[in-house]
Amino acid sequence: MENVIELQGVSKKFQTFSIDNIDLQIKKGYTTGFIGANGSGKSTIIKLIMNLLQPDRGNVKVFGMNHANHEKEIKSRIGFVYDSNIYYESLNLRDISKIVAPAYKQWDNKQFNKYIDQFELPLNKSIKSFSKGMQMKASIAIALSHNPELIIMDEPTAGLDPTFRRELLDIFQDVMINEGKSIFFSTHTTSDLERFADYIVLVNKGEILLHQSLEELREQYVLVKGSADLLDRDTESHFINIERSHDTFQALSKNVEEVQKVFNNHVVIEKASLDEIMFFMKSAHRNELNNSNYKYS
Ligand X SMILES: Nc1ncnc2c1ncn2[C@@H]1O[C@H](COP(=O)(O)OP(=O)(O)OP(=O)(O)O)[C@@H](O)[C@H]1O
Does position 205 interact with ligand X (CB under 6 A)? The reply is no
Half-sphere exposure of residue 205, counting CA atoms within 13 Å on the CB side?
A: 10
- Check residue 44 for interaction with ligand X (CB under 6 A): yes
To ligand X, the closest distance from the beta carbon of 45 in angstroms equals 7
The answer to whether residue 39 forms part of the interface with ligand X (CB under 6 A) is yes
The Cα 108–Cα 97 span in angstroms is: 10
* Minimum CB distance to ligand X smaller for 44 or for 97: 44
Of 2, 9, 13, 17, the one binding ligand X by CB under 6 A: 17
Among 7, 33, 35, 40, binds ligand X (CB under 6 A): 40
Decide: is 285 part of the binding site for ligand X (CB under 6 A).
Answer: no
Of the candidate spans 9-17, 107-115, 233-241, 266-274, the one that interacts with ligand X by CB under 6 A turns out to be 9-17
CB of 46 to ligand X, least distance (A): 8
Q: How far apart are CA 137 and CA 26, in angstroms?
A: 25
For residues 114-126, b (16+ Cβ closer than 10 Å) or e, as one string?
Answer: ebbeebebeeeee
What is the rounded distance in angstroms from the CA atom of residue 71 to the CA atom of residue 68? 6
Q: Which of 33, 41, 79, 148 binds ligand X (CB under 6 A)?
A: 41
Q: What is the rounded distance in angstroms from the CA atom of residue 52 to the CA atom of residue 283?
A: 30
Q: Does 187 bind ligand X (CB under 6 A)?
A: no
- CA-to-CA dists, residue 136 to 99, 109, 196, angstroms: 18, 19, 20
d(CA 112, CA 268): 51
- 42 near ligand X (CB under 6 A): yes
Residue 43 found at the interface with ligand X (CB under 6 A): yes
Interface contacts to ligand X, rule CB under 6 A: 14-17, 36, 38-44
